[in-house]
């Protein structure tokens, strides 16, 4: 049976508005899938660091769960329909390595329909472009740590892991490309857990994780809020951007280190999801998510550009079982676990189910 087009026959997300459908509130239900949309061997673009089975993971139970929103259903990803929806468009994922993980999932989900041309890769493999010629669709990752301009302080050519952030200047690494993009997916967060000196213009206005005399001390949430505010203000003031630009925030993706941090023996070796009660809404993860949602809602009120939210935080708080953990194949960092990124295939693939729904809504293609 051929897939139906999302444009001509959109699958119903809920039957009536009275059902109060919220795609991002729900729970994971056990469902043994007969066939995955792709496997770790069928998708040739999975990086080794996310290929958990290749790196020794043996349990597969974490694959047998489906996200069930309250009062409605989330349609599974349809590669043919997605590519028709973005035909002739350019989509940019703006963020760090977790944003890259999201792109890697999308590439695998699209691979059964069309294999893209890998048309650009920088020397550090941080900026990438793929082109789908049959659909004239360009997919890109624009790598940025903080969304705003941030430079590491160096001593004798060695990094100090302390950064100067200019909260009134967005990172040109992504902003220079914004005018050519039709869909921008913005995310950030994990790089903010370090010493930061905050600047506006020529003035040092504060710092995070520092102990400097006569300098205002802030927590991480302040720096995150100001960075996202600067990014969304830039989008709204972009005169060269497409009038149809749709900007989305992908909310904070929680890490799940237990019994320590990444460099103090922390691990993530669970094999099944948490239920909502056990997952809770851990205060800091949820605070990060709330900041991002609040700032994009403020930007949306200005009504200069279209904004949407891919709200994955609640769903992913419940998935400590889906990280590479020890199975990430990094021979230079043996003994350290990756509890930040996500195995592929895995629940990260649902981020693209959410992405499809948000694009449809914000582009006026249906609810």
Structure tokens at 25: 């509130």
Strands of the 128-132 sheet, one edge to the other: 117-121, 128-132, 137-143, 90-95, 183-186, 246-250, 306-310
Could you tell me which residues are beta bridge partners of residue 129?
Answer: 120, 140
Distance of alpha carbon 91 from alpha carbon 100, whole angstroms:
13
Residue 27 appears among annotated catalytic residues: no
Strands of the 148-155 sheet, one edge to the other: 148-155, 158-170, 195-200, 203-208, 217-218
Residue identified by tokens 């769960």 is 65
Residue identified by tokens 């890697």 is 104
Residue 97 appears among annotated catalytic residues: yes
Helix axes 350-362, 97-110, angle to 10 degrees: 90
Taking alpha carbons only, the member of 240, 243, 215 closest to residue 305 is 243
Structure tokens at 279: 């997952």
Burial of 216 (0-12, 13-18, 19+ CB in 10 A): exposed
Structure tokens at 90: 């350019």
Four-point Cα dihedral 80, 82, 84, 89, nearest 10? -140
Q: Which of 27, 97, 164, 168 is catalytic?
A: 97
Residue identified by tokens 């998708």 is 43
Distance of alpha carbon 260 from alpha carbon 241, whole angstroms:
44
Structure tokens at 232: 């969304």
Q: Which of 149, 341, 353, 363 is catalytic?
A: 341
Please tell me the number of Cα atoms within 13 Å of 84 on its side-chain side: 14
Cβ neighbours around 118 below 10 Å, total: 12
Distance of alpha carbon 6 from alpha carbon 51, whole angstroms:
30
Residue 353 appears among annotated catalytic residues: no
Please tell me the number of Cα atoms within 13 Å of 190 on its side-chain side: 18
Q: Which of 338, 349, 353, 363 is catalytic?
A: 338
Active site (catalytic) residues: 97, 338, 341
């Amino acid at each position: 049976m051929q897939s139906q087009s999302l444009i001509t026959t959109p699958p119903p997300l809920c039957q009536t508005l009275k059902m109060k459908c919220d795609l991002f509130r729900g729970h994971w239900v056990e469902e043994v899938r007969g066939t995955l949309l792709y496997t770790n061997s069928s998708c040739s673009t999975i990086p080794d660091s996310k290929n958990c089975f290749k790196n020794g993971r043996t349990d597969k139970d974490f694959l047998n769960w489906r996200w069930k929103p309250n009062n409605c259903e989330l349609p599974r990803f349809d590669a043919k329909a997605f590519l028709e929806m973005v035909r002739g468009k350019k989509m940019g994922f703006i963020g760090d390595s977790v944003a890259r993980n999201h792109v890697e999932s999308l590439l695998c989900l699209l691979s059964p329909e069309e294999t893209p041309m890998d048309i650009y890769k920088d020397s550090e493999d941080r900026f990438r472009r793929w082109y789908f010629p049959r659909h004239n669709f360009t997919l890109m990752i624009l790598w940025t740590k903080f969304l705003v301009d941030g430079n590491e302080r160096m001593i004798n050519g060695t990094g100090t892991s302390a950064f100067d952030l200019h909260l009134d200047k967005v990172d040109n690494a992504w902003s220079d490309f914004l005018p050519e993009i039709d869909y921008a997916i913005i995310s950030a967060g994990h790089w903010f857990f370090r010493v930061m000196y905050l600047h506006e213009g020529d003035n040092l206005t504060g710092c995070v994780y520092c102990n400097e005399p006569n300098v205002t001390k802030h927590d991480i949430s302040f720096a995150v809020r100001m960075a996202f505010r600067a990014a969304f203000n830039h989008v709204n003031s972009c005169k060269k951007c497409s009038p149809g630009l749709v900007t989305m925030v992908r909310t904070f993706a929680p890490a799940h280190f237990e019994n320590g941090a990444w460099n103090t023996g922390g691990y993530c070796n669970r094999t099944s999801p948490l239920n909502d009660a056990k997952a809770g809404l851990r205060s800091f993860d949820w605070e990060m998510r709330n900041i991002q949602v609040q700032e994009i809602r403020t930007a949306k009120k200005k009504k200069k550009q279209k904004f949407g939210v891919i709200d994955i935080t609640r769903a992913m708080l419940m998935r400590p079982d889906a990280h590479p953990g020890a199975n990430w194949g990094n021979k230079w960092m043996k003994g350290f676990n990756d509890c930040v990124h996500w195995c592929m295939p895995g629940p990260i693939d649902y981020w693209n189910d959410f992405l499809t729904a948000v694009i449809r809504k914000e582009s006026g293609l249906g609810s």
